[in-house]
Structure 1
Amino acid sequence: MDIAWDFFSSPMNLAEITPQDMTFDVTSPNMVNAKMYPGLIITYEISPLFGIKLNWVTEITHVKDKEYFIDEQRFGPFAFWHHQHHFEKADGGVVMHDTLHYSIGWGPIGAMANALIVNNKINEIFNFRYQKVEELFGKF
């Protein structure tokens, strides 16, 4: 559990659990040895769809050591993004639960884009993440 928590506590490890085709890059200065804490602002450059590069800024709003943390988008592609990461010790590894609430905005056009593209892409990202967590920290 400690190893998994330490891994997720470093913003620099986010790229390892993000699909490579998203070209995820942390752009915040001085993040190499940074550890997560409430109030931490992290900036990224990411290509979530069609290779289009976007800037994304998140804030870590809550942290309970070795149990959970929450990130919220401050600037980026979503109208709203609130992501909870929960961790539990389990036989042979770590159980990770994500709870995500988001909206892409844009009314009916956004709802259609979400149904046709965005929701599927988010599911792909989380499936990739769960596979990587299993590879790194054991089966859950």
Structure 2
Amino acid sequence: MIYQLHREQLLPCSLDDAWEFFSTPRNLDRLTPDSVGFKITHCESETMHEGQIIGYKVKVAPMIWVTWLTEITLVDDRKTFIDDQRVGPYKVWHHTHRFEEKEDGVLMTDDVTYVLPFGIFGRLANALFVRRQLNHIFDERARLTDAIFSP
């Protein structure tokens, strides 16, 4: 099964400020809830660029950590960037980030396409846990982003 997650958030800031923040890979730490268990383990450049590999450790269950490597596969300055999983807990992870200047701020859009491994067991895991966890992560990201960009 192919799953989709779509989120939009209006940020009360300039396009330059939004892009500067979200195109800095280490800021992902600031936007990920502590409860998720997420640590950046490899990030050679503080400035995002195509071909960049970013490594993480992610807690998938109590005391079970997995390696997750993503590659930045597209950067269109101040408009969009894409990260794709190379190694990790998903069979497929494709995350498109878009930024669009609006009259009252920046519309940030996240589109995630993901596939879980293990066939029917992956579908069951999505129904019981994964979808809920991803929604929690993106809900918290929205809350934390609001706090960062609120005037």
Determine if the TM-score, normalized by the shorter chain, exceeds 0.5: yes
Q: Which runs of 5+ in 1 are unaligned?
A: none
Matched AA of 2:68:
W
1:57 to 39, 44, 69: 69
Task: Identify the structure with bigger relative contact order (alpha carbons < 8 Å, sequence gap 6+).
Answer: 2
TM-superposed CA distance for 1:29, in Å, is 5.0
Residue type matched to 2:100 in 1?
E
Q: Deviations over 1:74-126 (max 9, x none)?
A: 00000110000111223443221111100112111110111111011011111
Alignment partner of 2:55 out of 22, 43, 46: 43
Instruction: Specify the code of the residue in structure 1 equivalent to 2:102.
Output: A
Q: Are the counterparts in 2 of residues 93 and 138 from structure 1 also a CA contact under 8 Å? A: no
| Corresponding position of 1:90 | 102
Cα distance, 1:49–1:66 mapped onto 2, change above 3 Å: farther
Does structure 1 retain, via aligned residues, the 8 Å contact 2:98–2:110? yes
Q: Does 1:115 align with 2:127?
A: yes
Normalised TM-score (structure 2):
0.83
Contact 1:42–1:58 at 8 Å: present in 2 too? yes
C-alpha RMSD of the superposition: 1.7
Q: In 2 relative to 1, CA 88–116 (structure 1 residues): closer, same or farther, beyond 3 Å?
A: same
Distance (Å, rounded) in 2 between the aligned partners of 1:21 and 1:85: 23
Structure number with the higher strand fraction is 2
Number of equivalences: 137
- Determine what percentage of the aligned residue pairs are the same residue: 41
1:125 corresponds in structure 2 to 137
Distance across 2 between alignment mates of 1:138 and 1:90: 16
1:16 and 2:30 are equivalent in the alignment: yes
